[in-house]
Structure 1
Amino acid sequence: MANFNLTSSIPSAFILMGIPGLEAAHIWIAIPFCACYTIGLLGNFMVLFIVGKEQSLHKPMYLLICFLALTDCGISTSVIPKTLCILWFNLKDITVGGCLTQMFFLHMVIVMHSAILAAMAFDRYVAISNPLRYTTILTNARVANLGLVCLIRAVLLVLPMPLLLSRLPFCDNRIIPHTYCEHIAVAKISCGDSTVNRTYGLVMAFAVTGLDLTLIALSYGLIIRAVIRISSKTAYQKALSTCTAHICVILVSYTSCLFSFVTQRFVQSIPSQAHITFANVYLLVPSMFNPIIYGVKTKELRTKVVKYVSRR
């Protein structure tokens, strides 16, 4: 990513301003950012460790939870370390190659995160509608291949974004009023025509979110149909409880993401400081809450975590 053929009109480095207008509070803003980031990493690594260590959790559902934990770590780690360097140490410079690399990995992991949520909805449908054939329909190998497909899709969809940006002239404007290299924030400072970049970013965001939410809605529509056919009240409640954690994760992930996306592009009355702050928060919140949600709502995982912690 750092070897793009950049024209001479593009500067050797950009300057990330952090949160313009709140420079005096940068040190204090960084504290909750760091705390949320640390909690998210600890929670997700705990999930990865427990699932990897416990043979009984080597199942498709928990493999998908591990994929989700990896994407959560990837989203926050691609942004927060540099953000903390800006807010705490005033290290605002970032090379063009570094900026485009950060942009690529951030958006790639976000797209993959969305695909994993759709795959988890399908997993829940199979578990509820065909419980006896669940292990034969969704084997670990098939889930691993599904994860690979999600990764390839994310790379192919996101790669044009930095490639298109690398062709734009930036003249003398090197200042990005943001804490990280968000696609639109970088495109806005170009002195060339960024219509193609803006259009591609908008179309890709709506296409990815629209497709994945459609697949999730379809899966839950089929789940509801399967649940209605269950005659036993106990089985009915058990089937619904298996979906609770996933629904909570979807609400946390998509609500914050869509709010940030829509307000940044279509709502001009919100101050830029609020936009930038929330653009960081929506990357941190799912990473912090997702392992907590699955740890609390998934009985088997919760039991293993409590067992391991009590041993220590």
Structure 2
Amino acid sequence: MDSQNVSIKITEFIIGGFEKIERPMEIGVVIFIVYCLVMLANTLNIFFIILDKKLHKPMYLLICNLAAVDMLYSSTSSPTMIGVLLAGVNTISYVACLIQMCTFQVAEAMEMFALAVMAFDRLIAISYPLRYHSILTNMRTIALTFVLWVAACGFVTLMPVLVIPLPTCFKRLRYAFCDYPAVVRTSCVNPSYYFNLATIIWFFLLFFTFGFICLTYLWILSVVLRSSKNESRKVLSTCLSHLIVVVCYYVPLFVRIVFTRIGLVLTLEERQGLMIGAILAPSLVNPFVYCLRTKEMKNKLFGILKKVKLIK
């Protein structure tokens, strides 16, 4: 512990991540609009799937799970940022901060798991089309999703265990909301050891899930190379939605977690922008990609729009 730092009892934190940015009101309005679109689009996707029995299939259950994850992922941070930027509410209680930190990390881990299991779904559908419904039943899909949620919670339990015993010397959070680095930096201790522990966990999750996705697509590619041109087009069309979602999520994640640990230096503003984009962009892109590129979902949406137009 630094002799110049004195441990204090904290009841609330001051969120200081937006103190140096220009045009906070405009940024707040953009985040608010994007967040509303995220919640609306993902809610509609979930309702489309739940209300239409024809969509009660493994792939759509996984899309429904991804929508729920995206809503949780964006809701852990966006309301706090909107409150700071638009309402000037720049404090958060200690307990609420810890809950936000844990929930955000669970959502981040679950996003990786959700994309990995969706890659597995595509692998089974393309490699074993005749056995797909016997291998991946609805009950097995639900059970697998439940196991992944439990696993995500299990990985994240280490973080509050590490953070809660730490003596606190600072009330001000350097970042836009309560994520793990922000909370650790308020402690009186050297954060390097705690960052390294978290890095090991996230490197494992990141490379395990991304590696698994890459392996599934190598397998799918081998199937494509053995197929006719028409079958190859169908396979690529089937996988394109998932590939778009994977790229939108993993590219900013690699920059934030991997490249910064191997020497890439980001300013506080660049880190904030990257973090906000990494949270909101995939959550906004995912529902539109799956709704507009999946035949059944697209037909459902156009059918509803046509009925609304006729009524009017």
**TM-score bucket (shorter structure):** over 0.9
Q: Does 1:62 align with 2:73?
A: no
List, as ranges, runs of 4+ consecutive aligned residues in structure 1 with deviation greater than 6 Å.
none
Q: 2:94 aligns with which of 83, 93, 96?
A: 96
Q: Does 1:251 align with 2:247?
A: yes
Residue in structure 2 matched with residue 109 of structure 1 by the alignment: 107
Deviation at 1:234, TM superposition (A): 1.8
Residue in structure 1 matched with residue 10 of structure 2 by the alignment: 11
Code of the aligned partner of 2:134: T
Residue in structure 1 matched with residue 84 of structure 2 by the alignment: 86
81 and 264 in structure 1: CA distance in 2 versus 1, 3 angstrom threshold = farther
Deviations 1:105-162 (A, max 9, x none): 0010110110010101110010011111100000010110111111011001011112
Between Structure 1 and Structure 2, how many residues are aligned?
302
Code of the aligned partner of 2:271: H
Q: What SS is found at the alignment partner of 1:15?
A: strand
Counterparts of 1:175-254 in structure 2 under 5 Å? 175-230=172-227, 232-254=228-250
Contact (CA 8 Å) 1:115, 1:212: kept in 2 or not? yes
279 and 149 in structure 1: CA distance in 2 versus 1, 3 angstrom threshold = same
Residue in structure 2 matched with residue 292 of structure 1 by the alignment: 288
| Unmatched 5+ stretches in structure 1 | 1-7
State the TM-score, normalizing by the size of structure 2: 0.92
Code of the aligned partner of 1:88: L
Provide the rounded CA distance (Å) in 2 between the counterparts of 1:176 and 1:263: 23
Deviations 1:175-233 (A, max 9, x none): 00211111112212211243442122101111000000111111111111122222x32
Deviations 1:39-79 (A, max 9, x none): 11111111101111111111000000011100000000011
State the TM-score, normalizing by the size of structure 1: 0.92
Deviation at 1:277, TM superposition (A): 2.3
Q: What SS is found at the alignment partner of 1:179?
A: coil
Residue in structure 2 matched with residue 283 of structure 1 by the alignment: 279
Code of the aligned partner of 2:198: G
Q: 2:269 aligns with which of 262, 270, 273?
A: 273
Deviations 1:10-33 (A, max 9, x none): 4111111131311x5211110111
For the aligned residue pairs, the C-alpha RMSD in angstroms reads 1.6
Residue in structure 2 matched with residue 4 of structure 1 by the alignment: none
| Unmatched 5+ stretches in structure 2 | 1-6
Identity %: 31
Code of the aligned partner of 1:198: F
Code of the aligned partner of 1:150: L
